[in-house]
Amino acid sequence: MAYIGVVGPSVASADDVADAVALGRGLGERGHVVVCGGLGGVMAAVSRGAAQAGGVVVGLLPGASRSDANPHVTVAIPTGLGELRNGLLVRSSDVVVSVGGSWGTLSEVALAVRTGVPVVALRGWRISDDDLTGPTAVSSAAEALAAVDDLLAEASR
Amino acid sequence: MAYIGVVGPSVASADDVADAVALGRGLGERGHVVVCGGLGGVMAAVSRGAAQAGGVVVGLLPGASRSDANPHVTVAIPTGLGELRNGLLVRSSDVVVSVGGSWGTLSEVALAVRTGVPVVALRGWRISDDDLTGPTAVSSAAEALAAVDDLLAEASR
Amino acid sequence: MAYIGVVGPSVASADDVADAVALGRGLGERGHVVVCGGLGGVMAAVSRGAAQAGGVVVGLLPGASRSDANPHVTVAIPTGLGELRNGLLVRSSDVVVSVGGSWGTLSEVALAVRTGVPVVALRGWRISDDDLTGPTAVSSAAEALAAVDDLLAEASR
Amino acid sequence: MAYIGVVGPSVASADDVADAVALGRGLGERGHVVVCGGLGGVMAAVSRGAAQAGGVVVGLLPGASRSDANPHVTVAIPTGLGELRNGLLVRSSDVVVSVGGSWGTLSEVALAVRTGVPVVALRGWRISDDDLTGPTAVSSAAEALAAVDDLLAEASR
């Protein structure tokens, strides 16, 4: 069992939503705890998928009110930290998966890379920096789940 | 279902431990989520009680390593915030129960009172301030559970 | 030169205001940086005194808007952390002085005591706990300044 | 007068250091407060430049010890927040200037863009995202200062 952070925009495309639901279901089936921002879009979709598979979903909410959480969150933490809660999400995660792309997501991904948390990126922006080992790029939920499995297996070695 | 924060010293007396276990069991039986600091002493005792009753226990750890959590925690969040994580605990709780007393506990209780989160104090320090409505003082786990029930009933009215 | 945190209620009595101004002036004259919550009441009074003496005043604001700061603050930091900014204030201070009393102040004082930051308490609530070394109680701004001098001298030995 | 956040790697190239010193000097001459992470590399260089021009430099340190600050910082705040202090830096800044590039810098820049703080990027990584208005790219300290002037003028209109 591991803690998998899932990040993505609160306003998501149909593709991002479908992938996030499938990703959440796979994570829930594997017994992982899904950690997300607890709101809508990709966050609600991955929460829904994980909850359908009987998984635990932690929502680290930016605001101070628990009622902001989407209905699929199992444990809702109203941090009141605004965007700083993204840092908590990264700290709480063994692996971070980004779905789609946004500047908010980019911030979380960059923080994860910097602090040594492995990242799997399902679509999204493209960063070019020759000196850095960045996210593992994948193009489907199934590939994202396989990449998570691999990264966890590596970490436990 | 509600989120009940439980605070107390990491080095606890036998009485505090016994009360915290009984408190956790009662909270778990009621289906509440227990939010605590995730470490030892009162935190481990209330986690144990809640877990025995099948409850969910969230540990908001001060450090950056999940392995600091006591074994009864269901969801361990390594906040890396040090003592500032006490503020997160208060924000995440519908009611705070303090068991025993310490300066750290006092800080959390004072913050809860200030931010309008009701507090039940099972033993501990005595504060005199005529102008303030402070914690509800109780002297057993059963009384603490009854006080939590009452406060939640009031809040839902 | 040291960093002196000053805490106290935003709605303050005339006595508290007069003491906070005198305290701020003394701290500014000594070349200390005053760290406070940046708002009104005791915070504005100590900022005013320090600014009059040419001192630097850091305001760690709870909100996200710099315009919340009182006009005497030299450096205003809108933390957006709400009451959690109290923890930053304690971390940033070599000594904490409380003026008057409130639950918010109590939270900061308790956190300081717990984390090993010496506290000088100018009036305020009374805490009884036989097992603990608490704040140094004083009853005037002059006594508070003398206590700060002593604590800094001790720390540098 | 404004608060200008400057971000950049703690291990910096000679070009980055030279630019950061020149940038700091220009910001200090304009009477701006420089907010940075308080450590070495770009942070120390911009601090040095600003201090030489008589400016105020705020160092928001990741650790809990003030002695981590570079010697040019005027006000050192040991936040103890680790990388989360980057979020405080962004919140405290009217404009953010990045010098050079690193994943940590990227995280701060992305957070600034997301939360509506204008960003000037002096060299660094290249991000492609057609849907987003990103940083203003410049290639010298003089250009960065001109861009800051423009952004502040726009904001005050």
Q: What per-residue confidence (pLDDT) applies to C26?
A: 98
Instruction: Categorize the per-residue pLDDT at C125 as very low, low, confident or very high, splitting at 50, 70 and 90.
Output: low
Which residue in chain A is spatially nearest to C81 when comparing CA positions? A81
Please indicate whether, in this complex, the C-beta atoms of B75 and A64 are within 8 angstroms of each other.
Answer: no
> Span D81-93, mean pLDDT?
94
- The answer to whether B101 contacts C129, with C-beta atoms less than 8 Å apart, is yes
Interface test with B, best of A66, A90, A92 (most B CBs within 10 A): A92
Q: What is the least distance, in Å, from the CA of D29 to any CA of chain C?
A: 17
What residues of B are in the C interface, CB distance below 8 Å?
81-84, 86-88, 91, 101-104, 106-108, 110-111, 113-115, 125-129, 132
Question: pLDDT by residue (tens digit) across D47-64?
Answer: 999 999 999 999 999 999
Say if CB D48 and CB D22 are below 8 A apart: no
Nearest to C56 among D75, D88, D92 (CB): D75
Question: Reduced to 3 DSSP states, what percent helix, strand and coil does chain B have, rounded to the nearest 5?
Answer: 45, 20, 35
**Confidence grade of residue D107 (pLDDT, cut at 50, 70, 90):** confident
pLDDT(C124) > 80 = no
B-chain CB neighbours of A66 within 8 Å are: 3, 92
Chain A residues inside the 8 Å CB shell of C82 = 64, 80
CB contact under 8 A, D58 and C77: yes
Residues of B in contact with D82 (CB under 8 A): 64, 80
Q: Could you give the CA distance from residue B127 to residue B119 in angstroms, rounded to a whole number?
A: 13
Give me the domains of chain D, ranges plus CATH numbers.
Answer: 3-155 (3.40.50.450)
Using 50, 70 and 90 to split pLDDT, how confident is the model at A150? Answer: very high
- Measure in Å the smallest separation between the Cα of A62 and chain C Cα atoms: 11
* pLDDT surpasses 80 at A74: yes
Question: In chain A, what residues touch B56 (CB-CB under 8 Å)?
Answer: 74-75
pLDDT of residue D127: 57
pLDDT at B134 over 80: no
- Mean pLDDT score, B36-45: 97
Q: Which of A134 and D34 is assigned the larger pLDDT? A: D34
What is the structure's pLDDT at D144?
97
**According to the model, what pLDDT value does residue A130 have?**
46
With cut-offs at 50, 70 and 90, classify the pLDDT of residue B130. very low
Residue B131 — very low, low, confident or very high, per pLDDT cuts 50/70/90?
very low
pLDDT of B66 reads 96
Please give, one letter per residue, the 3-state secondary structure of chain A: CCEEEEECCCCCCHHHHHHHHHHHHHHHHCCCEEEECCCCCHHHHHHHHHHHCCCCEEEEECCCCHHHCCCCCCEEEECCCHHHHHHHHHHCCCEEEEECCCHHHHHHHHHHHHCCCCEEEECCCEEECCCCCCCEEECCHHHHHHHHHHHHHHHHC
Chains in contact with D, where contact means 3 or more Cβ–Cβ distances below 8 Å, are: A, B, C
pLDDT of residue D123: 85
Nearest to C60 by CA among B120, B39, B84: B84
User: Nearest residue of D to residue A129 by CA position?
Assistant: D125
Inter-chain touch C66–D3, beta carbons under 8 Å = yes
Mean pLDDT of all residues in D116-133? 71
Contacts of A86 in chain C (CB under 8 A): none
List, for residues B56-113, the tens digit of each pLDDT value: 999 999 999 999 999 999 999 999 999 899 999 999 999 999 998 766 688 888 889 8
Partners of residue C113 in chain B, C-beta under 8 Å: 103
A74 compared with D133, residue with greater pLDDT: A74
Q: Report the pLDDT value the prediction gives residue B157, as an integer from 0 to 100.
A: 79
Please judge whether C83 and B87 are an interchain contact, meaning their C-beta atoms are less than 8 angstroms apart: yes
Query: What are the backbone angles phi and psi of residue B89, rounded to the nearest 5°?
Result: -60, -45
- Closest Cβ–Cβ partner in D82, D84, D110 for A110: D110
Instruction: Kindly tell me if the per-residue pLDDT of A14 is higher than 70.
Output: yes
- Do D107 and A104 lie within an 8 Å CB cutoff? no
In order of B93, B140, D113, D115, D133, the CA distances from D129 in angstroms are 40, 60, 13, 17, 8
pLDDT reported for residue A126: 57
When mean pLDDT is compared across A36-45, C50-59, D103-112, the lowest value belongs to: D103-112
Confidence label for C110 from pLDDT (cuts 50, 70 and 90): confident
Res. C102: pLDDT tops 80: no
Provide the pLDDT for residue B110. Answer: 87
Best mutation target among A103, A119, A130, A133 (most D Cβ atoms within 10 Å) is A103
pLDDT-above-90 percentage for chain B: 77
C neighbours by CB contacts (3+ pairs under 8 Å): A, B, D
On the question of pLDDT at C128 being above 70, the answer is no
Please state the rounded mean pLDDT for residues B143-152. 97
